[in-house]
Structure 1
Amino acid sequence: MLQVQDLTTSYGPVKALDGVSFEAPRGKITAVLGANGAGKTTLLRTVSGLIRPARGAAYLEGADLTRTPAEAMPGLGLSHVPEGRGVITELTVEENLRLGGLARADRSRPADLERVYTLFPVLSDRRRALAHVLSGGERQMLVIGRALMATPKVLLLDEPSLGLAPRIVAQIFDLLRGLVESDGLTVVLVEQNARSALSIADFGVVLNLGRLIVHDDAATLAADEKLRHAYLGF
């Protein structure tokens, strides 16, 4: 589904990504792991067109994403949820969700909204509330729901658990696992909490200082004590 080939991205003289290559298979969760500064966020920003690489490419079903403007990504089936739970606080929950469907040719349909509300019942209860009154967990649900309104084939998620209570994190991770199994969604998940990410992922990619260290089954990575201690912090 998603192929990353020799991706190299620089900030001035500093290489944030250095020749990274891996594949994220269709209908699976691929966790991207590593310490702060490993290049995880830069990887997602490069794949989604927010940063242009110095070398290499990323492909979604054969389409070269590195030659595609960021605003055209939803039309190709790629949705990116950046770190930070960015919502438009002056708009209601439902208005924020409808923004997610604007890139589609048919825009958003009532059925799409109702599906998001089914996935996140708390958003249904607060659909007419302004987004600024939402809690951190509710905002995270809102930005994921907004991304799903574009009916993506691939969902890029950057640190969805950051700053959230463990109960909310468990709900979000259970939802992701369910979407993969029921809808065949492909998820690339950047997570600082490597233990939690590997518990729901099918595959894992470990980065260190912009370089790919290993790409393997999630279970194999979780069982590798030396690798965990060196790069994953548990």
Structure 2
Amino acid sequence: MSAPDGVGTPLGTELEIEHLSAAYGPITALDDVSLPSRPGRITAVLGANGAGKTTLLRTISGLVRPRTGHVRLGGRALTGAAPEAIAAAGIAHVPEGRGVITQLTVEENLRLGALLGRRRAKATGQRGHWDLGAVLELFPALAGRRRSPGDTLSGGERQMLVIGRALLTEPEVLLLDEPSLGLAPRVVSQIFDVLRELVDRRALTVVLVEQNARIALEVADLGVVLALGRVVAVDDASSLAADQALRHAYLGF
């Protein structure tokens, strides 16, 4: 079974983020953050270190409990739910650091994602979109490494593996934290090409946190800029990339 090509399929599921605030003790990390809803699109969340980008993804996925605000997926309230419940609802979080289980092979890592995917497909009564073959087709570099232990993979192969494992959970929304970190430009380009394909042909909704603002704005549809936990700019990605004053003030290029 291959993933659907998206032709004639409805736009991806709507992720609603409204007025989120979160803190670590007395330190406010998010302050009244809302993201515009763009289902079936890539939203790039940008800003300097400490801006709140990673905290935003961790709050959406339930790893951080918000003080205020709402998270909804397809109209279903998920605010404050446990991470496993949010994952089961259809939000897959790929955190920074490429969390490969190094003692397992590539195929075993992927099959862990497929376990949740099968449970989601059964619960929703819908046919799953992803299987092992579809992921290996999307990431050919993994096909020849399927029996290799995770600790033998390059950084780029590990990033492909964790994205592939997330896809096998049958997500409606994919949260990605710094997928380009430490990777060669050629590998970054390959991974971002795959992200664009997932959105354009498979109607997946992606929220991308990325330190490399230039490349993020090239692949994204919408950009959101955070500074000290607050939203300072929201616009189409092309408009943000063309705003020289904003780039210099917040994005470093």
Extract unaligned runs of 5+ from structure 1: none
Q: Which residue of 2 aligns with 1:10?
A: 23
Distance 1:230 1:6 in 2: 24
Q: Which residue of 2 aligns with 1:129?
A: 148
| Contact preservation (8 Å) 2:111, 2:165 | yes
Quote the offset at 1:110 in angstroms: 11
Pair 1:111–1:78, CA change in 2 (3 A): closer
1:1-234 counterparts in 2 under 5 A? Answer: 1-104=14-117, 105=119, 112-234=131-253
Quote the offset at 1:170 in angstroms: 0.1
Quote the offset at 1:102 in angstroms: 2.0
SS at the partner of 1:26? coil
SS at the partner of 2:156? helix
SS at the partner of 1:147? helix
Letter in 2 for 1:43: L
Letter in 2 for 1:119: L
Pair 1:152–1:226, CA change in 2 (3 A): same
SS at the partner of 2:131? helix
Pair 1:205–1:127, CA change in 2 (3 A): same
Extract unaligned runs of 5+ from structure 2: 1-13
| Contact preservation (8 Å) 2:57, 2:177 | yes
Distance 1:32 1:165 in 2: 21
Deviations 1:24-73 (A, max 9, x none): 41110000000000000000000000110111111111112223210122
| Contact preservation (8 Å) 1:137, 1:168 | yes
SS at the partner of 2:223? strand
Letter in 1 for 2:231: L
Quote the offset at 1:121 in angstroms: 0.9
Distance 1:185 1:40 in 2: 20
Letter in 1 for 2:63: L
Distance 1:81 1:140 in 2: 9
| Contact preservation (8 Å) 2:217, 2:238 | yes
CA RMSD of aligned residues (A): 1.6
Deviations 1:165-205 (A, max 9, x none): 00000000000001100100010000000000000100000
Quote the offset at 1:76 in angstroms: 1.2
| Contact preservation (8 Å) 2:130, 2:167 | no
Letter in 1 for 2:85: A
| Contact preservation (8 Å) 1:24, 1:30 | no
Moved more, 207-216 or 95-104: 95-104
Letter in 2 for 1:153: E
Letter in 2 for 1:35: A
Distance 2:16 2:128 in 1: 31
The count of corresponding residues between Structure 1 and Structure 2 is 234
Aligned residues with identical type, % of pairs: 64
